[in-house]
Amino acid sequence: MSLMQIAEPGQSLAPHARRLAVGIDLGTTNSLVASVINGVAECIPDAQGELLLPSAVHFSADTIEVGSTAKTRAATDPEHTFISIKRLMGRGLDDVQQMKPALPYRFDPTETAVPRMSTPRGWMSAVEISAEILKPLKARAEARLGGDLVGSVITVPAYFDDAQRQATRDAARLAGLHVLRLLNEPTAAALAYGLDRQAEGLIAVYDLGGGTFDISILRLRQGVFEVIATGGDTQLGGDDFDQAIALWLMERAGLGMSPATPLNAGDQRHLSRTACAIKEALTGKEQTCARLDLRGETLWTGCLTCSEFNALADPLIERSLAACAQALKDADIQASEIQEVVMVGGATRVPRVRERVSAFFGRDVLTDIDPDKVVALGAALQADVLAGNKSADEMLLLDVTPLSLGLETMGGLVETLIPRNTTLPVARAQDFTTFKDGQTAMSLHVVQGERDSVENNRSLARFSLRGIPPMVAGAARIRVTFQIDADGLLTVSAQEKITGIHAEIQVKPSYGLSEENVEQMLRNAFDHASDDVQARRLREARVEAARSLEALDSAMTSDAALLTDIDRPILNAARALLTQAIQGEEAQAIHEAVEHLENAALPFIQRRMNQAVSRALAGHSVDEMVTQMRR
């Protein structure tokens, strides 16, 4: 009898087959893709052996060019050549048009939320253009790995907000990539160096790319990275070092010194390439010699020494160190507390940069991994785990909550305890109280979503806390704690502080929740933001009114003897007015009715207070009461 091949529920028929996943560094200047191959993370080159893909896209009527060929079009067709498109991701039209230097693109004036730019192939958004950069990275990975990808981890700057992160996800989806996770770039760099295997510590990630500089301060606790401060300079990068050398060359060659000898775009591009070549040739040497050829003639021949270059570079490096100092101040730590400094970005190859950064932090910087590759390699390691190729115990799965989590409160409102995009694991606690006198139990309703009212959110779980000591309304203190572990499991617990009675429930917030569900809930929250504010005000006013009526009825019952014939009709009329206001839709009208009721009840309240004081003083001398108060 032949055997039948079977598998456990939820497992592949070939459980040991390797799932193909990649890490992608979608950079401002360059992008690249990496994967774990034969147990080692490595970057994947294109057919020509190039690892770095310039983040440039050129549109013509017939073709879309990406990478180096597109980059060369910037001088001749700047309007349709898109460079540094990452800066536009998730930004509105007003933000984009205020960027410096001014962008050469023509924008669709009718699209303000998601700016679209004119191309020979129609209007294109930053998301669509970024997708064109991702497509060749996906293609080269599938060609190298020999199959379709199950997913990808894409890195983003730590300072990216919700809109920018969602735009990155959208770009990946358009490129045919399934996003397993978005990973902060500094976290990816730290993972590449295996810093997650340390117990705890403070890590600085110094990221000097081609066009931008970022500094991130991370705190590591039990394998979890927390970004505690970020900073940088969006107008500082390796290109500025090239520009400094180019200006030095122009001065030596006497170029551009008069209106009669202006430099055209081709001259400037050639000058920049020459400056970059000199910078790279000088690395590790005392000097390098070169010549500047322009328009068919040699304009300058000479040498640039290391000390001369350092003098050119120091003002730029100083700007980066000023940003580092500010980040440390924001994190409320000293440079001496940093345990590791990770260098990221091609410009950190410059020896002077490493020297100055090392001196600033007072320790050797980490440069063992190619700074151009380190982010992609870290993302690849994370993707390998998320794809299921390794035990999750080998690397903590860093994540964030996709939607806010909270509790239902009186009036059907939601009190958020954990906002969306909070890094996991996380624990948050808040105190709640009872609504009615003598209340001995509390029902807790856990919800997920971004709306203010319970019915517009997702119900996760319900449980009860019983055994609360009977007290007047508002006297009890119930501590409710939301705790999410690294695997996304939510534990909600409630504890009454006096007796210590406790109840809890566990739930998986992400169960049955697709990306489309998340997007729809976020979209609904945005679309109904103004309506939700008004609805919340009305419900809060109704809760306040109900509490006032509850307190009045209780007082009129327990101290009926203190009511006069004048009090009753006044209080009943004020009560009727408030009851009528509660049925309406105006929060302000309810607040005014509550205030009217409180003023009407003031004589009655004063008599109750006088009675309570008299009872407390009965049988005691003034001296005894003074002594008791002092105690």
Q: Enumerate the active-site residues.
A: 25, 86, 185, 207
> Tokens representing 291?
């010549």
Residue 230 buriedness (CB in 10 A; 0-12 / 13-18 / 19+): buried
How do beta strands 441-448 and 405-409 pair?
antiparallel
The number of angstroms, rounded, from the C-alpha of 12 to the middle of its chain's C-alpha atoms is: 34
Instruction: Look up residue 503 and give its two tokens.
Output: 């109840």
| Residues whose CB falls within 8 Å of the CB of residue 210, separated by 6 or more in sequence, listed in order | 28, 29, 30, 237, 238, 239, 345, 346, 347
User: How big is the CA angle at 407 (ends 523 and 413), to the nearest 5 degrees?
Assistant: 65
Question: What is the DSSP code (8-state) at residue 390?
Answer: S
Question: What DSSP letter does each residue of 519-580 carry, written as one string?
Answer: HHHHHHHHHTHHHHHHHHHHHHHHHHHHHHHHHHHHHHHHTGGG--TTHHHHHHHHHHHHHH
Phi/psi at 156 (nearest 5 deg)? Answer: -140, 155
- Are 215 and 352 a contacting pair, CB within 8 Å? no
Rounded alpha-carbon distances, angstroms, from residue 216 to 181, 226, 266, 398, 399? 20, 10, 37, 17, 18
Three-state SS string over 28-73 comes to CCEEEEEEEECCEEEECCCCCCCCCEECEEEECCCCEEECHHHHHH
DSSP class of 631: -
Q: CB burial class (10 A; 0-12, 13-18, 19+) of residue 175? A: buried
Q: How many CB atoms within 10 Å of residue 521? A: 22
What is d(CA 372, CA 394) in angstroms, rounded to the nearest whole number? 25
Can you tell me which residue has the tokens 């009890």? 476
Dist CA 361 CA 481 (whole Å): 39
DSSP assignment, residue 399?
A: -
Cis peptide before 315 (omega within 30 of 0): no
One DSSP character per residue, 247-258 reads HHHHHHHTTTSS
Q: Which residue has the tokens 């779980």?
A: 461
Distance CA 111, CA 531 (A): 24
Tell me the HSE value of 500 on the side-chain side, using a 13 A CA sphere. Answer: 0
Helix (H, G, I), strand (E, B) or coil at 16: coil
- Give the pair of three-digit tokens for residue 34: 């990496």
Task: Look at the block and give the residue holding tokens 């079977």.
Answer: 6
- Of 26, 28, 74, 24, the residue nearest 233 (C-alpha): 28
Q: Is 39 exposed, middle or buried (0-12, 13-18, 19+ CB in 10 A)?
A: exposed
- Asked if residue 101 has a cis previous peptide bond (ω within 30° of 0), the answer is yes
Residues in contact with 86: Cβ distance below 8 Å, sequence separation at least 6, in sequence order: 26, 27, 28, 55, 126, 130
